[in-house]
Amino acid sequence: MPSLTLLGQSMVSGLLAGGLYALLALGLSLSWGLLRLVNLGHFALAFLGAYLTYQLGTVGGLAPWTAVLLILPLFFALGVGLHAVFAWFRVREFTSLLVTFGVTVIIESLIQWYWTADFRRYETPYASLSFRVGPLYVPGVTGCYACQIAAYRRSYPMFDVAIEQRRAKPSPAATLGPACGLIGGQVGLDVMHHLTGLAEPSTQGVGHIYDLRTMEVEREPVTPEPDCPICGHLPTAAPRGKGETKAGRK
């Protein structure tokens, strides 16, 4: 029988994730309810905005809140221009479905051409920050990616150089299917274990490394870093240089 704390934590995480999906769906609902147009390109534009925020942050050094001040008016003007084109050509409900689907394909193709199909992560000091409300954490305690990367950087001085060289090479989109299948199955199984309490989630405090060629899985314990802004306050945070990750072991 799962504890009330586990159920409450799952509800908090579900509400936050659902709120994000609701914000994405809100634009589609307003477009249909007010303009009577099915704008399938709304989601592609949201993805494009995320990639532009990533680009401005990693290359231009702008914080996400500063990037919003640039991207928001730009996309507002883009939306007005798109609606003006629909009004000029008298696009109706069914026609808008076909036209915006083509816009979606074009935008996604441009994203994949410029940023490739490789996984991107935009790290900020406060993006994964959580705060405690009673026995619950908002947005929740998960495996700390920042601590794992810090251990790798400490053990491998050329870690960032190797990552940049790998990202410079285009990755075939076909490799995303097996990776997403493995990760999705693992996440689903861990969510079931977390809710039912039948077993401890295998990814709790542990990083998984999947080899898509041999289908082997390597587990690396991730120890919280004492100076990590996300989990450094936890009692399990080890002194620098004494982490349990493989990258941190001498």
Position 72 pLDDT exceeds 60 = yes
For helices 93-115 and 64-88, the axis angle rounded to 10 degrees is 140
Whether residues 108 and 151 share a domain: the answer is no
State whether 8 and 104 are in the same domain.
yes
Tell me the pLDDT tens digit for each residue of 14-50: 777 788 788 888 888 888 888 888 888 888 898 899 8
Q: What SS3 class is residue 169?
A: coil
Residue 248 lies in a domain: no
Residues 221 and 154 in one domain: yes
Asked if the structure places residue 186 within a domain, the reply is yes
Is 247 within the bounds of a domain? no
Q: Which helix (H) or strand (E) holds 209?
A: strand 206-211
The boundaries of the domain holding residue 192 are 144-232
| Residue 131 located in a structural domain | no
Total number of domains in the chain? 2
Is pLDDT at 246 greater than 60 in this prediction? no
Q: Are residues 8 and 99 in the same domain?
A: yes
- Write down the pLDDT at residue 175: 56
Look at residue 240 in the predicted model and tell me its pLDDT: 44
**Is 164 a member of any domain?**
yes
Lowest mean pLDDT, pick from 68-82, 121-135, 235-249: 235-249
Average pLDDT over residues 165-179: 66
pLDDT score for 244? 41
- Please, which residues bridge with residue 133 across strands? 136
Name the band, by pLDDT with cuts 50, 70 and 90, for residue 73.
very high
**Claim to verify: residue 105 and residue 148 sit in the same structural domain:** no
Residue 240 lies in a domain: no
Of 184 and 61, the structure prediction assigns the larger pLDDT to: 61
* Mean pLDDT in residue range 100-128: 82
Same domain, 94 and 24: yes
Task: For residue 107, tell me if it sits in a domain.
Answer: yes
Q: Give the pLDDT confidence score for residue 234 in this predicted structure.
A: 57
Indicate if 176 and 224 belong to the same structural domain. Answer: yes
Ranked by mean pLDDT, which of 95-104, 133-142, 232-241 comes out on top? 95-104
**Are 81 and 171 members of one domain?**
no
pLDDT over 90 percentage in the chain: 7
CA distance 228 to 115: 29
CB 111 within 8 A of CB 185: no
Mind listing the pLDDT tens digit for each residue in 199-242?
A: 777 777 777 777 777 777 787 777 777 777 666 655 554 444 44
Determine which of 46-60, 123-137, 151-165, 200-214 has the lowest per-residue pLDDT on average: 123-137
pLDDT at residue number 77: 92
> 148 and 46 in one domain?
no
The amino acid at residue 218 is E
pLDDT at 248: 41
> Within this chain, do residues 72 and 156 fall inside the same structural domain, yes or no?
no
Looking at the structure, tell me whether residues 107 and 156 fall in a common domain: no
Do 160 and 109 sit in the same domain of this protein?
no
Assigned domain for 238 exists: no
**Chain Cα centroid distance, residue 205:** 18
In the 3-class helix/strand/coil scheme, how is 42-71 assigned residue by residue? HHHHHHHHHHHHHHHHHCCCCCHHHHHHHH
